[in-house]
């Protein structure tokens, strides 16, 4: 998995027993080289020679995926022949379900060739073809590993964008993107501190929230739109932030803007959770943003009475959950089982997700 934060690639070996919960056997990760990160970020917007640049970037990303797979095999003591498949999500560079498409780069044929393992990729397109959002796809996996009998549980994935899975005590599973997670926080930290992200949210924690700016951001129509819904860099990007800054807080101190962006992530999640599952008792947080102590502090303050904890306490470290989810989805594809939840994505019905590239 390489997510919208564009910070790196995470991989896991996932053991899926016939009975019981999935088990992570090994984990490996690598950082995206700065040049590749910059190119993938640039490909989120229109530019010259996009077809060629996308193809080259996809091959470079597949090579990184292959390196992570090799590291996973070494750490787990497994051979390529022992692994049923690689679930490779790819890097999202465009997400426009409103126009009937979503694009994830990854060169899965090259990954299969390099690794000697079958690859399942392009998970989102079939759901979009069936009229769905193509996202989020992780709620079914979240139910498999985080559900608690007779308890309303929510799972928050804090990646570049944040999404909620609602594991209702009555057996229903719902989910949707709430809005920006780390994407604007990381952008603003890099612009003003030179660091790729605000480690533990320490810089933002020292700022003061700007009420006018926060109100202007939360007034965006996406936050009031009912599910099913999903979003990405096409909707929330630096130009969106700069436009609101110019109107609501043109002279704001950078650290105060960072604090306000942290408040945006926390408040948008809390508002969405209160609207859609007001009886929630437990919130499990995963994704790279789970290490942002400032965002988690603000989130807990906005959700009094809700038990908030990291997925680490449930047996899967926060950074490993999404990679594990796509391994789980790959297994379902191999067995011809649906991977989407129409109640989550809005698709016309259950669909088998992913294209299979044999070893």
Q: pLDDT by residue for the chain (359 residues), tens digit each?
A: 998 888 899 999 999 999 888 999 999 999 999 999 999 999 999 999 999 999 999 999 999 999 999 999 999 999 999 999 999 999 999 999 999 999 999 999 999 999 999 999 999 999 999 999 999 999 999 999 999 999 999 999 999 999 999 999 999 999 999 999 999 999 999 999 999 999 999 999 999 999 999 999 999 999 999 999 999 999 999 999 999 999 999 999 999 999 999 999 999 999 999 999 999 999 999 999 999 999 999 999 999 999 999 999 999 999 999 999 999 999 999 999 999 999 999 999 999 999 999 99
The fold of the 8-134+320-357 domain, in CATH, is: Nucleotidyltransferase; domain 5 (3.30.420)
Q: What pLDDT shows up at residue 6?
A: 87
Residues 6+ apart with CB under 8 A from 293: 200, 201, 202, 205
**pTM of this prediction?**
0.93
Q: Is 165 helix (H, G, I), strand (E, B) or coil?
A: strand
Question: Domain map of the chain by residue range?
Answer: 8-134+320-357, 139-318
Residues 6+ apart with CB under 8 A from 289: 5, 158, 159, 162, 181, 182, 185, 265, 295
Q: Is 53 helix (H, G, I), strand (E, B) or coil?
A: helix
The CA-based angle 141-278-149, given to 5 degrees, is 45
**H/E segment holding residue 355:** strand 355-357
- CB-based burial of residue 98 (10 Å sphere; 0-12 exposed, 13-18 middle, 19+ buried)? exposed
**H/E segment holding residue 163:** strand 161-167
Q: What pLDDT shows up at residue 180?
A: 98
DSSP 113: H
CA distance linking residue 154 with residue 283, whole number of Å: 5
The fold of the 139-318 domain, in CATH, is: Nucleotidyltransferase; domain 5 (3.30.420)
CA distance linking residue 88 with residue 325, whole number of Å: 10
For residue 230, what are its two tokens?
Answer: 């999903």
**One fold for 8-134+320-357 and 139-318:** yes
The residues facing 167 across adjacent strands are 153, 173
Residue with tokens 């649906």: 338
CB atoms within 10 A of CB 302: 17
For residue 134, what are its two tokens?
Answer: 């193509």
CA distance linking residue 343 with residue 137, whole number of Å: 11
Q: What pLDDT shows up at residue 5?
A: 82
Cα distances (angstroms) measured from residue 75 to each of 11, 78, 198: 12, 8, 30
Q: What pLDDT shows up at residue 4?
A: 82
């Amino acid at each position: 998995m390489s997510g919208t934060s564009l910070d790196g690639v995470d991989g896991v070996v996932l053991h899926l027993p016939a009975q019981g919960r999935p088990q992570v056997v090994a984990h490996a990760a690598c950082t995206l080289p700065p040049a590749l990160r910059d190119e993938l970020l640039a490909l989120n917007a229109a530019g010259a020679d996009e077809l060629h640049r996308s193809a080259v970037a996809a091959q470079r990303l597949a090579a990184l995926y292959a390196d992570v797979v090799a590291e996973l095999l070494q750490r787990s003591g497994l051979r390529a022949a022992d692994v049923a498949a690689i679930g490779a999500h790819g890097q999202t560079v465009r997400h426009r379900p409103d126009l009937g498409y979503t694009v994830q780069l990854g060169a899965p044929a090259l990954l299969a060739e390099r690794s000697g393992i079958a690859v399942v990729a392009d998970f989102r397109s079939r759901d979009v073809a069936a009229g769905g959002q193509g996202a989020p796809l992780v709620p079914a996996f979240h139910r498999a590993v985080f559900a608690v009998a007779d308890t309303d549980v929510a799972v928050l994935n804090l990646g570049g964008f944040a999404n909620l899975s609602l594991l209702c005590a009555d057996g229903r599973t719902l989910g949707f993107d709430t809005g920006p997670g780390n994407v604007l926080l990381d952008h603003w930290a890099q612009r003003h501190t030179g660091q790729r992200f605000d480690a533990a949210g320490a810089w933002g924690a020292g700022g003061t929230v700007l009420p006018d700016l926060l109100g202007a951001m939360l007034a965006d129509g996406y936050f009031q739109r009912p599910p099913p819904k999903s979003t990405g860099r096409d909707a929330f990007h630096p130009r969106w932030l700069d436009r609101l800054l110019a109107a609501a807080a043109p002279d704001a101190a950078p650290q105060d803007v960072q604090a306000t962006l942290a408040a945006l992530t926390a408040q948008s999640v809390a508002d969405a959770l209160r609207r859609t599952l007001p009886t929630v008792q437990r919130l499990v947080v995963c994704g790279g943003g789970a290490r942002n102590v400032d965002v988690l502090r603000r989130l807990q303050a906005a959700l009094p009475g809700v038990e908030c904890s990291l997925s680490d306490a449930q047996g899967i470290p926060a950074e490993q959950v999404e990679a594990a989810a796509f391994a789980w989805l790959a297994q379902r594809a191999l067995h011809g089982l649906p991977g989407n939840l129409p109640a989550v994505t809005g698709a016309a019905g259950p669909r088998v997700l992913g294209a299979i590239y044999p070893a």
